[in-house]
Amino acid sequence: MSEPTPAIPPDPADSLAAVAALRRLADELEDAAVEQAMRSGWGWPRVAEALGITRQAVYKKHSRRLIAAGVELRRRES
C-alpha cells in the first residue's frame, strides 16, 4: 500500500513559514551548487540553462561573490 500524501499544514502561518524556509534553503543550495559548478569549469551559459534562468540573472546574482572567493570564472567552457 502506498503512504497517504501529507496534507498542507492546517495553519496558514506554518504553510507560509515553510515557503520562506524553502526559499532560504533553495538560495543556500543555489549558492553552493553554482560555486561547485564554476569551480568544476562550467561556464555561465551552462549554469544558467541548468537553473532555468538567464545568463544575466545568474551572473548578476553570483559573480561578485565568486570573484571574491577566488573562483576562476569562464564565459565559455573550453
Partner 1 sequence: MSVFGDYLAAVIHRAQLEASDAGSAKVEAPHLLLAIAAQTEPSIDPLLEEFGLDVAAVRAALDREYEHSLNTVGVTTAAYDLPRPTRLPTRPGIGRSAKLAMERGFGAVTKKKGLRPAHLLLGVVCAEVGTVPRALALAGVDREAVLARLRQAIDTPTM
The residue ranges that bind partner 1 (CB under 8 A) are 6, 8-9, 13-18, 20-22, 24-25, 27-29, 31-32, 35, 64-69
Looking at residue 73, what DSSP letter applies? Answer: P
**Nearer CB in complex with partner 1: 72/76:** 72
**Nearer CB in complex with partner 1: 9/41:** 9
As measured in angstroms, the least distance from the Cβ of 54 to partner 1 is 18
Nearest to 59 by CA among 70, 46, 48, 71: 48
Residue whose grid cell is 538560495: 27
Phi, psi of 63 (to 5 degrees): -60, -45
**Nearer CB in complex with partner 1: 16/53:** 16
As measured in angstroms, the least distance from the Cβ of 32 to partner 1 is 5
Q: End-to-end distance of the chain based on CA atoms, in angstroms?
A: 50
